[in-house]
Amino acid sequence: MARPRTSQLRRRRFLTGVSVAVCTSILGVTQVARADGVSITAHLDQHKVQIGEGVRLIVEVANEGRGASNLPEPSLPDFAGMGISFRGPSTRQGSSHSWVNGQVTSRVTASYTYYLLPSKPGSFKLPVSINVGGKVVKASPLLVLDVVGEAVSEEPVKPTQGGPSKANGEVFMWIRVDNPEPYVGEQVTYTIEVYERSRRQLDLTLPSLPGFQDFWTEDLPTARQRSEMVEGSPYTVHTVLKRALFPQKAGNLTISSPQADIGVRAGIFGQVRRLRRISGQALELHVKPLPAQGQPPGFSANNVGSYGIKAEVDRTEVKGGEPLTLTVTISGSGNIAVLDPGPWPDLEGLRRYDPKSETTPLRSLKIGGTKTYEFLLIPEQAGELTIPPHTLDFFHPVKGKYERRSTKPIKITVTGTPPPAKQAPEDAPSTPTDPEGAGDDADGLLADFHTSATVERVEKSRRLLTADRWKYGMLGVPLAFVATVFGRVLWRRLGPDEQTRSRAARAARHRELLAHAQDSVTTGEGFYASIAKLLQSLAVDRAGPEGSGLPRRELLALLERRGVAADDLNTLGELLDLCDAARFGAVSSNAAADRTRVLERAQQLAGKSSLTQGGR
């Protein structure tokens, strides 16, 4: 009778084991793996899903025993290699303590929740583990996720301008392009829309933007959600992204496939209960090159759009040497941020400084706006002067041809030109700080007046002139005379001449100006004036006597004839113009960093041999 009882017991144990295994499989709970009091469990809320459907992976780590504290973080599989992206984790930690047999036992737990978003079909093994003191503990049994469905094709397709004609399920993505065959530099409006008919509260995010490698991009305002019928079914349309694209080269350009994560919110606090990822189709745009026929010489491919241009001055009558402001305004539609205004015309009798430019963009359905250039002008001669017209060439993509706009010429009346400033003599004495030479300090210039009655009388102890002193004195007089004559001869032959002394004085003055500029580089007080004096002195010294009193253009031309290098001349003229512009307030930035760069360039220029050699 023992064998039947043993057989029945074995059958009962077998059925019990099968029941536990079935329940474990249904609930998705894995067995617990332990090591040194640390355990790990992992399970999926679903084992079979469609592509893009979110799956929750929950990993729990616990440390139980005396002194339980730190918990290792779980190690995850290579989701990227499987074509699975994930979000999270969201974590929850807890701890508890119990009194067992007179000892305190602690239990510390941490729960990690990940959202897995598969993008391709297959059966994927998901090993999850922890590292405990160098020992890897794996969650057992191994988790397996089965993904079914058809992946979105990565091959780009030709874009369509209209909306969807087919309802692709409860939620789908649609890409809209308003211009599938633009010219280089012409705007294309790219829009990502999500159609959904669940009418639930959605949380829409873009995990990554599509690739716009060959485009200049600008953000556009997105529209509010709207309703639309697709195959007789009502859908709510959400605009996720809207971009203005400006292709930078001709040919077939690809925009990669976008993806959007959709979280369905529910409950009082709006928690995300379900997550899903949907993908759109990659697009291929055919970009046409700008036509060669009728293209102006040196035309910039950034000048695509429709523009107008105008110019004006703040006044038309000025005195010689007084500044005036010329403002050139370009406005219209197109990628105005990179618009090339072209070379500015030469001005006769006017000195022009680099402009301050400002762009005011206009972002609506079409990118455009206004670009303003402000020039500081200083007349260099009297009479009636003319600011010639400035021309702007652009390609009109709608008309398919090149167009030109020009400003009107502007007449300026200059009533008089002040005489050029003369250089101070090199060896002129410096002006005293107190020209009157009086005041409280005058008492210290002369000694007190003494009368014979107030002079202290001292009785001499012995004669100053003795026979020995007379003898040596008589011998020393001719020796001193000979040494003085000989010293003068040596000084005339070996000492510095007048030109050397003059050059040394100029060098000292240059060092003084540089020192003042270095001291004021932080505050800016008198900085540009010191730099301008230094550069003007260097230029006049190198030019010689003919350079005194010359206007800047003539002075630079004379230096060129004197053999000064072209690069040094360009730097000299640029720095002098920058100093003038800073003093007249014609530069947009006057920060300490800008002054430091100007000082460094001036120091380098002062050390150039082509500018310092041959000076008078």
Whole-number Cα distances in Å, 438 to 80, 420, 430, 447, 580: 88, 35, 18, 15, 38
Tell me the pLDDT tens digit for each residue of 328-374.
Answer: 999 999 999 899 999 999 999 999 988 888 988 887 778 999 999 99
Instruction: List the beta bridge partners of residue 113.
Output: 58, 90
Nearest Cα neighbor of 560 from 549, 569, 552, 551 is 569
Q: Which CATH number fits domain 27-148: 3.40.50, 1.10.3470, 2.60.40, 3.40.109?
A: 2.60.40
- What is the Cα–Cα distance from 302 to 336, expressed in whole angstroms? 8
432: preceding bond cis by omega (within 30 degrees): no
Q: What average pLDDT does range 267-288 have in this prediction?
A: 76
Burial (CB count within 10 angstroms: exposed 0-12, middle 13-18, buried 19+), residue 546: middle
More confident residue, 557 or 323: 323
Query: Same CATH topology for 27-148 and 498-612?
Result: no
Q: What average pLDDT does range 506-514 have in this prediction?
A: 81
- What pLDDT, on a 0 to 100 scale, did the predictor assign at position 493? 63
SS (H, E, C) 496-531: CCHHHHHHHHHHHHHHHHHHHHHHCCCCCCCHHHHH
Tell me the pLDDT tens digit for each residue of 159-203.
Answer: 877 889 888 888 889 999 999 899 999 999 999 999 988 766 677
The mean predicted confidence, pLDDT, of the chain is 79
The widest CA-to-CA distance across the chain, in whole angstroms, is: 160
Sorted by where each begins, the domain ranges of the chain are: 27-148, 171-287, 305-414, 498-612
Considering the domain 498-612 in this protein, what is its CATH number?
1.20.120
- Locate tokens 């009368």: which residue? 451
Determine the 3-state secondary structure of 478 from DSSP.
Answer: helix
pTM check: above 0.75: no
Tell me the pLDDT tens digit for each residue of 282-336.
Answer: 999 999 999 999 999 999 999 999 999 999 999 999 988 889 999 999 999 999 9
pLDDT higher than threshold 70 for residue 54: yes
- What is the Cα–Cα distance from 275 to 289, expressed in whole angstroms? 44
- Confidence band, pLDDT 50/70/90 cuts, at residue 609: low
- Following CA atoms 389, 392, 396, 401 in sequence, which dihedral angle do they give, to the nearest 10 degrees? 80
Whole-number Cα distances in Å, 518 to 291, 527, 538: 54, 8, 18
pLDDT higher than threshold 80 for residue 424: no
pLDDT higher than threshold 70 for residue 526: yes
Q: Which two tokens stand for residue 194?
A: 């999500």
> Which secondary structure element, helix H or strand E, spans residue 569, and what is its range?
helix 566-584
- What is the Cα–Cα distance from 427 to 501, expressed in whole angstroms? 10
- Locate tokens 């993806």: which residue? 259
DSSP 414: E
CB 29 within 8 A of CB 43: yes
Say which CATH architecture domain 305-414 belongs to.
Answer: Sandwich (2.60)
Burial (CB count within 10 angstroms: exposed 0-12, middle 13-18, buried 19+), residue 390: buried
- Locate tokens 């107190």: which residue? 434
Considering the domain 171-287 in this protein, what is its CATH number?
2.60.40
CB 142 within 8 A of CB 126: yes
The set of residues, in sequence order, having a beta carbon less than 8 Å from that of 389 and lying 6+ positions away, is 311, 345, 406, 407, 408, 409
- What pLDDT, on a 0 to 100 scale, did the predictor assign at position 441? 41
546: left (phi over 0), alpha (psi -120 to 50) or beta: alpha
- Following CA atoms 328, 331, 337, 342 in sequence, which dihedral angle do they give, to the nearest 10 degrees? -50
How many residues are present in the chain? Answer: 616
Of 195-209, 467-481, 492-506, minimum mean pLDDT range: 492-506
pLDDT higher than threshold 90 for residue 24: no
